[in-house]
Amino acid sequence: MIELYREPSPQLIRVPWQGIVLDRGVLKKAIKSSKGDFLFSEQGAGVQPLVIIGKLSELVDFFYMNQNVFISNEIRTLPDIYIGISKFIEKERYDGTYPVNIAINALTRSILDFIPGNSIIDVLSNTVTFRNILRDLINSNHGEKQTDVLYLKISYLNDFQNNGKKIGSKKISFETIFRYLLGINETPV
């Protein structure tokens, strides 16, 4: 069973040794308002976009089963509601840079260039290992797993990373999203 979540805003955190860490946060389950709908607002949880992760069939199922649920945008200056869909790529929560770590890596790389018989030469000398590595590189897509899991984001801001499209203003139903996912453009009578 898939659920609707709130996407946190990434934050930069200063850590010891002059490092900076990007904290992407964790998704939190989205809670309906007292009116029974999901809100976008200028404060509280409503500032965070709504996110749902799953296969296309699961997303369509979710929005079909909840057609009578609404999303309300209470932000007067930004009344539009956008939807964006992209392939889901799982990322680490923390991503950091430490100047000391970068310096050590650069030093290690430069030293290895002068050492005869480093790992690159060892790999090339073993044709079986080299053949396996080459096969894995050809069959992979630059280290990212091919997946049919989608990341659907609903927000009051257009998200070009997720191919954002305007889907409504002020208030939309899950039925509207259901129809959007199926490519149905006409409105029900």
CA distance 129 to 186: 57
- Which position has the token pair 């404060």? 43
Cβ(52)–Cβ(2) below 8 Å: yes
Residues 52 and 108 in one domain: no
Q: Note whether residue 37 is domain-resident.
A: yes
Cβ(181)–Cβ(56) below 8 Å: yes
Q: What is the DSSP secondary structure assignment for residue 9, as one 8-state letter?
A: P
Q: Which tens digits make up the pLDDT trace of 76-117?
A: 999 999 998 888 887 777 776 656 556 656 666 666 565 555
pLDDT in tens, the chain (189 residues): 789 898 888 788 777 666 777 778 888 898 888 888 998 988 877 788 999 999 988 999 999 999 999 999 999 999 999 998 888 887 777 776 656 556 656 666 666 565 555 444 444 444 444 455 445 544 554 444 546 888 889 998 887 666 678 888 999 999 998 888 887 765 554
Cβ(50)–Cβ(5) below 8 Å: yes
Whole-structure pTM value: 0.66
Residues 106 and 150 in one domain: no
Residues 16 and 85 in one domain: yes
Residues 22 and 78 in one domain: yes
Q: Count how many domains the chain has.
A: 2
Strand-pair category, 38-40 with 70-73: parallel
pLDDT for the residue 126 = 46
pLDDT for the residue 123 = 43
Q: Note whether residue 104 is domain-resident.
A: yes
Residues 20 and 66 in one domain: yes
167 three-state secondary structure: strand
Structural domain range at position 51? 4-94+146-182
pLDDT for the residue 51 = 92
pLDDT for the residue 9 = 81
Q: Note whether residue 188 is domain-resident.
A: no
Residues 128 and 47 in one domain: no
Residues 85 and 13 in one domain: yes
Residues 15 and 70 in one domain: yes
pLDDT for the residue 116 = 55
Q: Which long-range contacts (CB under 8 A, 24 or more apart) does 92-98 make?
A: 92/24, 93/23, 93/24, 93/25, 93/26, 94/21, 94/22, 94/23, 94/24, 95/21, 95/22, 95/24, 96/15, 96/19, 96/20, 96/21, 96/22, 97/19, 97/20, 98/15, 98/17, 98/18, 98/19
CA distance 70 to 81: 12
Cβ(65)–Cβ(165) below 8 Å: no
pLDDT for the residue 137 = 45
Residue where a domain stops, chosen among 108, 123, 139: 139
Dihedral sign computed on CA atoms, order 121, 123, 125, 127: negative
Q: Note whether residue 189 is domain-resident.
A: no
- Which position has the token pair 């904290």? 23
Residues 20 and 64 in one domain: yes
Cβ(187)–Cβ(127) below 8 Å: no
Residues 115 and 24 in one domain: no
pLDDT for the residue 71 = 93
Residues 111 and 167 in one domain: no
Please give the single-letter amino acid code of residue 126.
N
pLDDT for the residue 108 = 64
Residues 24 and 86 in one domain: yes
